[in-house]
Amino acid sequence: MAAFRDMSFTPAEFASIAKIDRGMISQLESSGLLKTTKKKVGNVDRKIIALEDMQAYFHALRVLSEQGVITAANPEAIEGLKRQNIGMTTGLAPVNPIHKVQMFYNVKGGTGKSTMTAQYVMRAAMLGLKVLAIDLDGQGHLSVNLDVLDGHERPTIYDVLINDLPISEAIMNVAPCLDLIPANLGLCNIEIPLNNKTRREYRLSEALAKIAHNYDLIVADTNPAASILNGSMLVAAGLVNVVCATNPLSFHGMSLVMATIETMEQEFSRKLEVRIIPNMYDNREVISQEVLGELRSQFSECCTRTVMNRTADINEATKRRSTVWDVNPRGVAAHDITSLTEELIWLNERPLSVIPLSEGEDEEFTQPSSASTLENQTAPTETQVSATSETQLN
């Protein structure tokens, strides 16, 4: 077991994350794009990639992409490099998120929102994105998931919005590329003093604007209520990720959630991008299949393609206060989190690019294998769901 900040990855795990062929790692090392280290495992020295080295790799790709050295993975770009006898591979080259400020939201508790937020921000940080996580729930479960157990001693967003503490002084670092504004029970008392503040709905967005240039992605975990604080985050966010457990009560509350979002859009004259994330799906349960079918039927434009399956790996990662990649990098949960992260950051536009390695002999490189090996049951396709979802939920 390792804390997220101390994680390291095998070449196979790195290749899966970077979406390259494992055989290209040596050439990435030779080209200077990737640094590996040796770790003693028993009597054998194993090659590993530390978390910071993987983040540095993705950061280098972003710089090369901005300079025009890396281009989209299309036939013309591949043939151009081959004609110049330049070694190359195709892989994931992260670009800036489409929406910098995001929030995970639901007025109902128990949907798995805090756990998903924690896994999402850690997975985004693994891609070398500079991430700020904000815990807006007095229970502080996002803080606990990120291995911050002394949140009661630290400043929170309450101090920023009510006591005018500079937001930079409420930020703490929890891992490379990952910062956090923690929460504690004192945050439960914010509603009345915040209601008495002028421009109450804009105070959070104005505070975030002061530090937004330091981050690629800002993600908030909200409290399960239709609160003023959540309303302030709706004003600040560009993307609202609504987590809906695939059970009848969670589905029933979706009407209130969507109505709240529509009211905020009308009141503040802005259009929010909304994604509904089906969570805790179990294809052995008919009710899960029915709820997923209704979500995709009634909210077809908002429902994510990724469905979060119910797995033991998520609970184990929560217990360890680390990422699912620390538990089982080839499991269903790791696959789901990877797919969801890419979908929410780039909204279905995965930035696969041609990565030049070094001048050399013309070689044929294979496409990367699947990101993960699914070992348990996974969510069905929309066609399969529609065939099993004949019962209308009330």
Q: pLDDT tens digits, residue range 130-174?
A: 999 999 999 999 999 999 999 889 999 999 999 999 999 999 999
88 backbone dihedrals φ, ψ, rounded to 5°: -155, 165
Q: Is 327 exposed, middle or buried (0-12, 13-18, 19+ CB in 10 A)?
A: buried
Integer Cα distance of 340 and 317 in angstroms:
17
The reply to whether 326 falls in a domain is: no
Minimum mean pLDDT range among 272-276, 283-287, 301-305, 379-383? 379-383
Sign of the C-alpha dihedral, residues 107, 113, 118, 120?
negative
Q: What pLDDT score does 243 carry?
A: 97
Question: ∠ at Cα 127 (122, 133), nearest 5°?
Answer: 35
276 and 198 inside one domain:
yes
**β-bridge pairing 178-181 and 101-105:** unpaired
Residues 49 and 160 grouped into a single domain? no
**Are 106 and 176 in a shared domain?**
yes
Other CB atoms within a 10 A radius of the CB of residue 191 amount to 15
pLDDT tens digits for range 185-243: 999 999 999 999 999 999 999 999 999 999 999 999 999 988 999 999 999 999 999 99
Q: Which domain holds residue 42?
A: 4-94+350-359
Q: Are residues 135 and 9 in the same domain?
A: no
Give me the number of domains the chain comprises: 2
Distance CA 222, CA 325 (A): 25
Give the pLDDT of residue 374: 42
Instruction: Give which of 293, 292, 325, 294 is closest to 308, Cα–Cα.
Output: 292
Residue 325 lies in a domain: no
- With a CB cutoff of 8 Å and minimum separation 6, the contacts of 341 are 120, 123, 124, 127
Say if residue 75's pLDDT is above 90.
Answer: no
| Percent of the chain scoring above 90 in pLDDT | 66
pLDDT at residue 210, rounded to an integer = 97
